[in-house]
Amino acid sequence: MVKSYKQLKYYELVKRLAATGFKLKYQGSFFGYLWSLMKPLFLFMVLYVVFTVIFKLGKAIPNYPIYLLIGITLWGFFAETTSMCMGSIVASGDLIRKVYFPRIILPIATSLTSFLTFILNLVVIFGFMAYAHIPITIDILWLPLILIEFYVFTLGVSLFLSSLYVRFRDIGPIWEVACQALFYATPIIYAPNLVPIKYLKILMLSPLAQIFQAARASILPSEVITSSTVLGKYWMLPLIIVIITFIVGYITFVKTSAKFAEEV
């Protein structure tokens, strides 16, 4: 009974921290939530002009504006969540030293704050699809499962980074550079079929590539290359990598969390 009460209390704490973080994120801002919407839209407009008007890359991809917008929205959640969660323990150093609670609550609450913004941005995507008269198919039913996989993977990476960042602050700039490399190594602005065959299977082993393409396949009515079409019988490998990533991130976080109060 006591254990159930504590679990409920921690659940409420996560919910309150996530809601408070979402409110504070836009407090004092005139445009509020619109800033989180305008940022991916500005990036979308720049990339759309560069890769459609100048390089003509987008013309070879069906429904390229929505294809690109989905990729940018997904990437925005991953990049923002991992970066914010990475510093969540250090930013709450005073709280950690004064009050005991499971430290994992902090990165989880931070990730949920970003996830709320992400869901709102997805609604905007469907608004653009309605405006462009792009139909929604029954494949959309796969989207919740894909988003759960995406959240689990992002949280696993975030837990790993946040545990390392407490002791090694160099992780910050290193991850910033890594994110820039991952942006171009993930099919955000291009389709996987533009990648040479000998590298395509390696690309689709990436959980990010698998998740991005699966999300597009569930949203767009046009045919989208997914990991199952590239990897064949090994299509489960990216999912296995997701599970391993989460387990490694969780174990690393739990093992190092006992010393957070001393190191932050």
Token pair of 36, please? 């989180």
C-alpha to C-alpha distance for 59 and 44, rounded to whole angstroms: 15
pLDDT of residue 1: 46
pLDDT of residue 20: 80
Token pair of 117, please? 């913004």
C-alpha to C-alpha distance for 39 and 120, rounded to whole angstroms: 13
pLDDT tens for the 264 residues of the chain, in order:
445 545 566 778 788 888 788 777 766 665 666 777 778 888 888 888 888 888 777 778 889 999 999 999 999 999 999 999 999 999 888 888 888 888 999 999 999 999 998 998 998 899 999 999 999 999 999 999 999 999 999 999 999 999 999 999 999 999 999 999 999 999 999 999 889 888 999 999 999 999 999 999 999 988 899 999 999 999 999 999 999 999 999 999 999 998 888 877
Contact 252, 159 (CB under 8 A): yes
Token pair of 102, please? 């499971």
